[in-house]
Amino acid sequence: MRRYVIRRLIGLIPVLLGVIFVTMLTIELIPGDPVAIMLGENARQEQVEALRAHLGLDQPLPVRYVKYVGNVLTGDLGRSIQTNRSVLAEIMDVWPNTLLLAIAAMALAIVVGIAVGIISAIRPYGIVDTVARVLALVGLSMPIFWLGLVLLYAFAYYFRIFPVGGTGSARHYVLPAVALATPSIGVLSRMTRSSLLDVMGEDFIRTARAKGLKGAKIITGHALRNAMIPVMSVVGLQFGQLLGGSVLTETVFSWPGLGRLTVRGIFARDYVLVQGAVLTFAMAFVFINLLIDLSYAYIDPRIHYD
């Protein structure tokens, strides 16, 4: 297990280096000059050139890339062009809000998605299964920002049950978590149903039925655990997508998280802040998938990491 974890952590290095390079290249191709935005339209050319040299923007992209990677290795993500604060401090201020929202949405998606998938697998192609598959398809087809606006209008403006946005209490989590979790509920319900139906055709399930076990005991005691490996793989991918989807969700619900901070940095051409935010999302994604991979051995004792 230890050797496997070390190999995976070493394998993360080129992934993160590639993420940094692609992010820097993408920001380089975005029209506009961050220095001109900072100084305004009336700035003199010598002022623009001086600030560009101070920020290192007068250097070629490969040089800036090498310097940035060296700074990241020491824990320095640079300073925000817009606020002149440490990017690491900016991220740490809002990262807990994004993480808590993603955890709430993932918990909702796991509970509802797996439950619906189990119910659909027990009686496949019945009325409940058909309705569940249609709802899953609808949930997958709805854009998060559109669903968020619908939820805001219905439950925050019309019925006035939940707050319009921001944080402060558990009620503030409900609407953004539902909007964020809805596509994942559809994915997990379909994956759980498909995986369970595959397992239900195995020989050990037929043996359990021959011994007189009922449907519920077969599902919970034999089939579900064997069907969880592909489901857990999807959980890891969906958690990463929830972090990425937080960019739109946090903007719609005025949620003070890393996604909203990233949008602010993009509009301000604050390339240092955007680089740090994207790097944080990437690191969270790869570490979450590492934890999911390690959980396989707990779910199925036959799996060994040699």
Tens digits of per-residue pLDDT, 220-239? 777 887 888 888 888 888 88
Q: Domain for residue 79, yes or no?
A: no
Full domain range(s) for residue 107: 88-299
Domain count for the chain, please give it. Answer: 2
Q: Are residues 156 and 251 in the same domain?
A: yes
Q: What is the pLDDT of residue 301?
A: 64
Cα 264 to Cα 259: distance, rounded to the nearest angstrom: 9
Q: What is the pLDDT of residue 81?
A: 81
Q: What is the pLDDT of residue 83?
A: 84
Q: Are residues 258 and 164 in the same domain?
A: yes
Where is the domain boundary, 40, 73, 106? 73
Q: Domain for residue 80, yes or no?
A: no
- Nearest alpha-carbon partner for 142 in 253, 285, 245: 245
Residue 158, number of CB atoms within 10 A of its CB: 9
Q: Are residues 272 and 162 in the same domain?
A: yes
Asked if residue 187 lies in contact with residue 219, where contact means CB atoms within 8 angstroms, the answer is no
**Percentage of the chain surpassing pLDDT 90?**
31
Q: Are residues 265 and 120 in the same domain?
A: yes
Q: Does residue 43 carry a pLDDT above 80?
A: no
Q: Domain for residue 199, yes or no?
A: yes
Q: Domain for residue 161, yes or no?
A: yes
Q: Are residues 174 and 50 in the same domain?
A: no
Q: Are residues 57 and 116 in the same domain?
A: no
Q: Domain for residue 107, yes or no?
A: yes
